[in-house]
Amino acid sequence: MFDERRVQDRAAAPLASLGGIAPTHPYAAFLARVSKPGRDLGGEEQELRRPWEEALTCRMVLAFPDLYEIGMSHLGTRILYSLINKAPDLACERAFSPWADMEAELRARGLPLVSLENHRPLRDFDVVGVSLQYELSYTNVLLNLELGGIPLRARDRGDRDPIVIGGGPTATHPEPLAPFVDLFLVGEAEEVLPGLLRTIGGLRRAGASRAEVLAAAAKVPGIYVPEFYAVAVDPRSELEVVVGRTAAGIAAGAPERVERVWVRDLDAFPFPSEFPIPYAEAIFDRAAVEITRGCTEGCRFCQAGIIYRPVRERDPKAVIRAVLDGVDKAGFAETSLTALSTADVSCIDPLIKELVPALRERKVKLGVASLRAYGLGEELVDAIKSVGISGLTFAPEAGTQRMRDVINKNVSDDDILASARRIFERGYDRIKMYFIMGLPTETEADVVGIAETGHRVREVARAVTHEKGLPRLPQVTISVSQHVPKPHTPFQWAAMESIEDLYGKIDLLKGLARRYKLGLKTHAPRESWLECLFARGDRRMGEALELAYRAGARFDGWQEVFRFDRWLDALESAGIEPARYTRTIPVDARLPWDHLEVGLDPGFLAGEYRKALRGRASPPCGKPAGAQAHPTTVAAAEAESRRLVCYDCGIACDMSEMRSERVRALRELAEVRAEREGREASAAAAEAAEAAAEAAAVEAEAMGGAPGLVPVANLKARLRGLTGRSILAEDSAFKAAAEAPFSRVRILFTKEGTMAFMGHLDLLRVIPRMLRRAGYEAAFSRGFNPVPRMSFGPALPLGTAALEEVVEVDLLLPDSAEDMAGLWGPPERARVGAAIEARLREVAPPGLGIVRARVMGPGERRIGELIVAADYGVALSQAEVAEAASNLEARLDAGSLPVERAAVGRKGRGKPGSEAKVLDARAKILAARLDAEAGILHLRLRHGDDGGARPREVVEALIGSIVPDHRFCRERLLAEVDGRLVSIGEAGAVMRPPPRPREVVRVGEAEAEPGPS
Chain contacts with ligand SF4 (rule: CB under 6 A): 309-310, 621-622, 646-649, 651-653
Classify 232 as helix, strand or coil. strand
Cα distances (angstroms) measured from residue 11 to each of 18, 381, 800, 872, 955: 11, 58, 14, 16, 15
Shortest Cβ distance from residue 311 to ligand SF4 (Å)?
7
Name the DSSP letter for residue 983.
E
Shortest Cβ distance from residue 352 to ligand SF4 (Å)?
25
- CA 350/CA 300 separation, integer angstroms: 29
Shortest Cβ distance from residue 312 to ligand SF4 (Å)?
11
- CA 313/CA 298 separation, integer angstroms: 17
Give the nearer residue to ligand SF4 in terms of CB position, either 629 or 709. Answer: 629
Shortest Cβ distance from residue 653 to ligand SF4 (Å)?
3
Name the DSSP letter for residue 705.
-
Shortest Cβ distance from residue 283 to ligand SF4 (Å)?
31
Shortest Cβ distance from residue 787 to ligand SF4 (Å)?
44
Class of residue 456 by CB neighbours under 10 A (exposed 0-12, middle 13-18, buried 19+):
middle
Give the nearer residue to ligand SF4 in terms of CB position, either 657 or 893. Answer: 657
User: Are the CB atoms for 145 and 128 separated by under 8 Å?
Assistant: yes
Give the nearer residue to ligand SF4 in terms of CB position, either 656 or 1013. Answer: 656
Q: Please tell me the number of Cα atoms within 13 Å of 645 on its side-chain side.
A: 13
For the four alpha carbons of 569, 572, 578 and 581, in that order, the dihedral sign comes to negative
User: Are the CB atoms for 956 and 968 separated by under 8 Å?
Assistant: no
Give the nearer residue to ligand SF4 in terms of CB position, either 652 or 710. Answer: 652
Query: Among candidates 973, 981, 945, 940, which has minimal Cα distance to 808?
Result: 973
Shortest Cβ distance from residue 310 to ligand SF4 (Å)?
5
**Which neighbouring-strand residues pair with 79?**
none
Shortest Cβ distance from residue 685 to ligand SF4 (Å)?
48
Shortest Cβ distance from residue 309 to ligand SF4 (Å)?
5
Give the nearer residue to ligand SF4 in terms of CB position, either 307 or 855. Answer: 307
Shortest Cβ distance from residue 398 to ligand SF4 (Å)?
22
Give the nearer residue to ligand SF4 in terms of CB position, either 78 or 309. Answer: 309
Shortest Cβ distance from residue 589 to ligand SF4 (Å)?
25
Residue 296 contacts by C-beta under 8 Å, 6 or more apart in sequence?
A: 311, 341, 344, 620, 621, 622, 623
Strand pairing category for 292-293 and 312-313:
antiparallel
Shortest Cβ distance from residue 646 to ligand SF4 (Å)?
3
Give the nearer residue to ligand SF4 in terms of CB position, either 294 or 454. Answer: 294
User: Are the CB atoms for 316 and 668 separated by under 8 Å?
Assistant: yes
Shortest Cβ distance from residue 343 to ligand SF4 (Å)?
17
Residue type, 821: A
Give the nearer residue to ligand SF4 in terms of CB position, either 605 or 665. Answer: 605
- CA 106/CA 149 separation, integer angstroms: 12
Name the DSSP letter for residue 845.
P
Give the nearer residue to ligand SF4 in terms of CB position, either 231 or 651. Answer: 651
Class of residue 619 by CB neighbours under 10 A (exposed 0-12, middle 13-18, buried 19+):
middle
**Which neighbouring-strand residues pair with 34?**
none
CB count in 10 Å sphere of residue 466: 10
Name the DSSP letter for residue 274.
-
Classify 231 as helix, strand or coil. strand
Class of residue 589 by CB neighbours under 10 A (exposed 0-12, middle 13-18, buried 19+):
middle
Shortest Cβ distance from residue 766 to ligand SF4 (Å)?
44
CB count in 10 Å sphere of residue 37: 24
Element housing 1002 (H / E): strand 1001-1003
Give the nearer residue to ligand SF4 in terms of CB position, either 91 or 339. Answer: 339
Query: Among candidates 969, 966, 970, which has minimal Cα distance to 23?
Result: 966
- CA 968/CA 952 separation, integer angstroms: 8
Residue type, 235: P
Shortest Cβ distance from residue 119 to ligand SF4 (Å)?
45
Classify 157 as helix, strand or coil. coil
Give the nearer residue to ligand SF4 in terms of CB position, either 657 or 842. Answer: 657
Residue type, 249: G
Strand pairing category for 968-977 and 867-875:
antiparallel
- CA 328/CA 322 separation, integer angstroms: 10
Give the nearer residue to ligand SF4 in terms of CB position, either 57 or 618. Answer: 618
Give the nearer residue to ligand SF4 in terms of CB position, either 623 or 769. Answer: 623
Shortest Cβ distance from residue 407 to ligand SF4 (Å)?
17
User: Are the CB atoms for 35 and 956 separated by under 8 Å?
Assistant: no
DSSP state string for 902-948: --EETTEETSTT---EEEEGGGGEEEEEEETTTTEEEEEEE--SS--
Give the nearer residue to ligand SF4 in terms of CB position, either 194 or 310. Answer: 310
Q: Please tell me the number of Cα atoms within 13 Å of 83 on its side-chain side.
A: 21
Shortest Cβ distance from residue 618 to ligand SF4 (Å)?
9
Give the nearer residue to ligand SF4 in terms of CB position, either 503 or 647. Answer: 647
Strand pairing category for 287-290 and 898-901:
unpaired
Give the nearer residue to ligand SF4 in terms of CB position, either 306 or 713. Answer: 306
Give the nearer residue to ligand SF4 in terms of CB position, either 641 or 1013. Answer: 641
No. of H helices and E strands in the chain?
32, 34
Give the nearer residue to ligand SF4 in terms of CB position, either 642 or 929. Answer: 642
Shortest Cβ distance from residue 270 to ligand SF4 (Å)?
24
Strand pairing category for 391-397 and 743-751:
unpaired
